[in-house]
């Protein structure tokens, strides 16, 4: 993908695509794309906080508020576009999800603190 392609058109194209990590595990969806002043994509945003403004209306406000509370005020996590190895049909990353700081935080928390602690729950970080 050439820099020229990382434009508004691409933003429209990759939005809502499934993101998978280097091990094929689902990370989330491209809920928003961060662009620089030239309209080139810098990072993908994944998570409810990024999705909520796109939904709009009171539903968006509700979900946005919820996401804000859960994230304890930290900005929504972003994945730099340099991590992307393939764009279609799924967005593939070259790192495993655990090395992406803040991405899928709830998943990690539930996995290590709740589900992973139950007998037979397995290990969250494999």
Partner 1 sequence: MSTSKVFSFTLGTLSAIGGFIDIGDLVADALVGARFGLRLAWVTVLAVIGIMCYAEMSGRIVAVTGRPAFDLARSRLGPRFGLVALVGSFLVTGLLVMAELSGIALSFQLVTDISYLFWVPLAAVLVGIALWALPFEILERLYGVIGLAMLVFVVAVWQLHPDWGQMWHSATTVRPTAGETWPVYAFLGVTLIGAQMTPYEMFFFSSGGVEHRWGPKSMSEMRTNVLVGFPLGGLLAVAIQAVAYLVFAPAGIEVEHLSQTALPVVVALGKVGLAFAVVGIFAATFGATMETLFATGYDIAQYFGWSYGKVQPPAQAARFTAVTASLLILSTALALTTLNPIRVTIVAVVFSAMLLPLGLFPVLLVGNDHSVMGEFRNGRLANTLGTATLALSILVALVAMPLLVWTRGGSG
Which stretches of the chain bind partner 1, using CB under 8 A?
A: 15-19, 25-29, 31, 46, 48, 51, 54-55, 59, 89-90, 104, 106-112, 114-116, 118, 120-124, 126
Q: Which is nearer to partner 1, 4 or 118 (CB)?
A: 118
Q: Which of 65, 26, 25, 32 is nearest to 47 (CA)?
A: 32
- Compute the distance between CA of residue 56 and CA of residue 61 in angstroms, rounded to an integer: 7
User: Which position has the token pair 């020229």?
Assistant: 4
Closest separation between CB of residue 69 and partner 1, Å? 17
Q: Which is nearer to partner 1, 1 or 106 (CB)?
A: 106
Q: Which is nearer to partner 1, 7 or 25 (CB)?
A: 25
Closest separation between CB of residue 60 and partner 1, Å? 10
Question: Token pair of 122, please?
Answer: 């397995």
Residue 18 backbone phi and psi in degrees, to 5: -70, 135
């Amino acid at each position: 993908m050439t820099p020229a392609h990382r434009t508004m058109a691409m933003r429209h194209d990759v939005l809502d695509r499934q993101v998978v990590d280097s091990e094929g595990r689902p990370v989330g969806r491209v809920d928003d794309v961060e662009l620089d002043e030239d309209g080139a994509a810098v990072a993908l945003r994944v998570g409810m906080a990024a999705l909520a403004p796109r939904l709009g209306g009171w539903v968006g406000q509700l979900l946005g508020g919820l996401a804000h509370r859960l994230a304890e005020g930290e900005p929504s996590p972003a994945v730099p576009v340099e991590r992307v190895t393939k764009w279609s049909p799924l967005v593939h990353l070259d790192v495993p999800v655990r090395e992406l700081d803040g991405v899928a935080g709830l998943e990690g928390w539930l996995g290590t603190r709740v589900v992973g602690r139950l007998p037979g729950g397995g290990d969250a970080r494999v």
